[in-house]
Structure 1
Amino acid sequence: MTAGLEERRLAAKIVRRVLDEGAYSNVLLRRELEGLDPRSRGFSHRLVLTTIRMLLRIDRALAAAADRPIASLDPEVRALLRVAAAELLFLGTPSRAAVHVAVTAAKLERPRAAGFVNAVLRRVAAEGEPPLPRGRAGTALALGFPEWILDRLVAQWGEDEAVAFLEASNTEAPLVVRLRPGAPRIGEPVPGVPDAVGVSRTELDALAADAYVVADAASIAVGHAVGVRAGERLVDLAAAPGGKALHLWDAAGGTAFVVAMDRHARRAASGRRRTRRLGAGVRWVVGDARRPPFRPGTLDRVLLDAPCTGLGTLRRRPEIRHRLEPSAPRRLGRLQREMLEAALELGARRLVYSVCTVFAEETVDVVADLGFEPPEGLPGRTWGDGRLLAPHLGETDGMFVAVFSR
């Protein structure tokens, strides 16, 4: 068998499902690469993420080499061409090897297209990609992003920080877990985020399944910002899949009354199964955070980890850049503000607002003029009335956190 053939076919399959069928790369990578040896898993993982990150440049090069729109190609052929072009343009694979494996894969997947695949990839290998445009359009394309995303970030931060964020968002995210109470101390602590540690897969395999929760350090930081104490009553208003509600339960030593709410019954049921399996007494309810079903004055703390564009999770889900529409941040910002105003009506002593995005319309604009403040003790930097965590500021995903206290 041709060396590396199955890893590349698997990468093409994942790329096709993500880009053509709307699947999430982090979910598929975890599921599809299970059981591969570490070297094969690492290569396939890198190839998939590179292809998705650099898709705009890859498709531009392929369109020039094929003399036809990429969208017109058979999905299987298109995926094989994309992963092979990623190797040729960005991963440094020798052209002869990359082309040979792609053609072999094409003979198995779409035999009639093998000659076409060979011709297109040989042209890409010989000519590379077309020159990038000048100015900001070229900067965005070089980073693999639609220009409108760079424009928004430049408008709110300036060009240097906007580019730094996008560059950092194209890097590999470390494997981070939150160690649960009683778990052995392993890994490298993440600065500024208690209980968050960077670990290797070997270290993780040595732990019991209920001793840790895989979560980015930014998500773990949100739980610490809530600051739950023993015996308190609190609610997570948009809780699925339940990681933060579980964190709050653990932080109070199992003595707090923790309610997790989600508007979707299926997601709430899945969260309930998860927290129950991990031994947590979190109560799950179905409800809409715009109209929370709780009597004002009965809660000590409230967490609103609101639905958002997810731009802060690009290291793990690079496809987000290709799915977002320019209208999404403002549309979601209106929803977030509505949810936040409803949460304020609950009268809790402490309300934490968080979103895993960095667009101003979903962050500083949402909490403006409501009396929020940046939480203390978190990594990152102050931004408006909240705290910004981001990959260019430290080893975390992008997250905005703001606190209202009575």
Structure 2
Amino acid sequence: MLKSLRPVMRLCYSAALNPLKISSASFRTWSPSDEPIYTDDHVQIQKTLRKIIDKDINPYVDAWEEQKDFPIHEVFKTLGDAGLLGVNKPVEYGGLGLDYSFAIAIAEELGNVKCGAVPMAVTIQTDMATPALAKFGSHGLKERFLAPSIAGEFVSCLGVSETGSGSDVASVRTKAIADGDDLVINGEKMWITNSDHADWMCLLACTNDTGPHTNKSLICVPMDSPGISVVEKVNKLGMLSSNSCRVVFEDVRVPRSYIIGEEGAGFRYQMIQFQEERIVTACIALNLMQLAIDSTIDYTRNRKIFAGSVLDNQVVHFKLAEMQTEVEALRSMLYRTAALYMKGNDVTPLVSMLKLKTGRISRELTDSCLQFWGGMGYCMDSVVTRCYRDARLGSIGGGADEVMLTVLCRYMGVLPKLKK
């Protein structure tokens, strides 16, 4: 019998031990392939990934979190050998050539990793640094950078954010000035995850002097190029085993042919990449939230207070039921957004809503779960604390809540739309 697409509430316990007996069958009576965008093929590829997670990732997560790093090349090669780093990328470059729903399935399954850092590192490669290259890059660029990334031989990173230009992508200042057949890059990027291990960066930089939405290009930049310095690891609240760093460019030279697609189209390309980044953020968060709920049920069932378990208290089990409802509502929104995106629709409003609700629900949910753990929830080595710390990035990274609200206000007509 196929394993469930996601963890379900582990409440199948003896009624004699606890009156709150709810089996997984009564909670979910349908199979994973009955979900709106999934088939048996999606479930099979998730099972392949789950085996790798259970064997090669989850047993080591605690140690990786403690050492604040993980063997990213080794993990990526394992995933690449299994064909999991390019499920929706072109076959001629090593991908599986499947539709975008398979990328959703992979990202959702990655949420079963018992930390947020490793899934984030993987999806930076699959859904943040390579989509524009796969869609718009030249054959030569795809052979040079995309194919080895799909194979897990290269690690990539995305260079968009700067110290003064995080969510405001239009204000990016890093420049790549043409000099003959080369580009000369000067500037710096901040909060660049994977950068200390990356083989190449998908860099957003200004390449002309036109307006803020037409003066930028996406560029493939080898990270071993002279003049690149990874100078500072960010000491983060969460996502501990995945490093984020400041990267400085001093007269870095790359061929002009390393520009992805059209010169000056980088802002538009990056907006497309943001769509997929924000969708997979929700995918990963679903099972992170499920882990918080499941572990809290287990802990509160066994934690005794006033001659009963914490879970016996109505305020606790009602809150857990409400949180489960929020997760399932968010899942439905995710599947609808993904289905519309696959049909070629402009789903910017829905993606913005999805990103907004994912960040808010995940931080509120993990905070509520942590509260039910009492003092143990305040300890760094508890699973709910890790969920709490990792989930907090959801309202900041990939576009802060306030940016998502601004985008929605523009689509609603509350604010004027940006001029191109």
What TM-score, normalized by structure 2, do the two folds share? 0.24
The structure that has the greater radius of gyration is: 1
Structure number with higher relative contact order (C-alpha < 8 Å, ≥ 6 residues apart): 2
Query: TM-score, normalised to structure 1's length?
Result: 0.25
